Copies of this chain bind each other. A is one copy, B any other.
């Protein structure tokens, strides 16, 4: 998730670590803050894998900056991660939102639509959080107001997302033809 965000932001423009960090904080920081001690090692991993290169530049205000630029391999890796996300990226909202934030980089509308259809398939599966044996329980069947809340919120989210998915898929299909 973090690596995807790094690749995604660098695809737009070369950045140095500090600015990259602020970009990531703006994107997902209110939900899941990213520690510096997580970001810098992640950058190193990507550099070691040849997905980005760094160029040292005299710091504008303070210490020298390491400007990070995506390599060709990095660009290809981003495309691969966007086009063939692991199942976790589809099902976990945190991961999914990060993927959506960069899905526009995937130039092919058909490839974009394929990813959205995977999410659609996931949302259309009858799944709950609470069961009576194998039968999913609905909000109305629960006495616990907090568990009822979980289902109420999840249902609202699901509805909004299904509507958006169908809309967006329709317009992507329109472009494809």
Contacts and interface: CB of A to CB of B under 8 A. Distances in A.
Interface residues of A, number: 42
Main DSSP-derived SS at the A contact region = helix
Copies of this chain per assembly: 2
A49 B145 CA distance: 31
A82 B100 CA distance: 32
A97 B129 contact: yes
Interface in A7-40: 26-28, 30-33
Contacts of A26: 129-131
Nearest to A144: B104
Interface of A: 26-28, 30-33, 88, 91-94, 97, 100-101, 103-104, 112, 125, 127, 129-131, 144-147, 149-150, 152-157, 159-161, 164-165, 168, 171
